[in-house]
């Protein structure tokens, strides 16, 4: 089994993943755009028991959006890089794909979510499924045969 390593920009926060990872997805919601400073947030997931903090966990800060229905951001208190965080049940970690120091093996996105609120200057040029909001919402691009 291959172990993937990741870190923040300054190297204070480091982690390893020894286990399966999910595909990468891109969220285009306004909150993810603001957190990343780009057109969205590329993330993948892994089981909590596959994830291990190597260093810097005590440097992670958390920001919760007021009236944001529990939406929160975690980031390195030194350099501001986004950091992995768990779901509400603590069963999986959501990992910002840009933090990886190793090649995860995926190529491209498996899906785009919250496309209904993407920035007007963004052009999605791949064939990955596009959802107006989350995965249970209306699909915006047709299934190609």
Condensed to tens digits (0 to 9), the pLDDT of residues 3-18 reads 999 999 999 999 999 9
The CATH number covering residue 104 comes to: 2.170.150.70
Structure tokens at 62: 């958390």
Structure tokens at 1: 């089994």
Domain range for 38 is 3-117
* Residue ranges in the chain assigned as alpha helix (H): 30-36
Domains in the chain, number: 1
Taking the C-alpha atoms of residue 141 and residue 66, their distance in angstroms, rounded to an integer, is 32
Q: Which of 33, 26, 52, 21 is nearest to 131 (CA)?
A: 26
Q: What pLDDT digit, counting tens, does each position of 102-143 carry?
A: 999 999 999 999 999 999 999 999 999 999 988 788 888 876
Query: Does 141 reside within a domain?
Result: no
Taken in order 87, 112, 96, 6, the sign of the CA dihedral is: positive
């Amino acid at each position: 089994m291959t172990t993937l390593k990741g870190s923040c920009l300054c190297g204070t926060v480091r982690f390893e993943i020894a286990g399966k990872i999910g595909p990468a997805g891109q969220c285009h919601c306004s909150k993810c755009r603001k957190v990343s400073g780009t057109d969205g947030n590329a993330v993948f997931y892994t089981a909590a028991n596959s994830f291990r903090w190597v260093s810097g966990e005590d440097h992670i800060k958390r920001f919760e959006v007021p009236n944001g229905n529990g939406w929160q951001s975690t980031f390195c208190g030194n350099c501001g890089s986004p950091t992995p965080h768990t779901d509400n049940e603590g069963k999986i970690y959501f990992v910002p794909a840009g933090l990886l120091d190793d090649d995860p093996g995926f190529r491209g996105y498996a899906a785009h979510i919250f496309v209904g609120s993407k920035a007007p200057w963004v052009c999605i040029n791949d064939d990955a499924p596009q959802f107006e909001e989350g995965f249970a919402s209306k699909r915006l691009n047709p299934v190609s045969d």
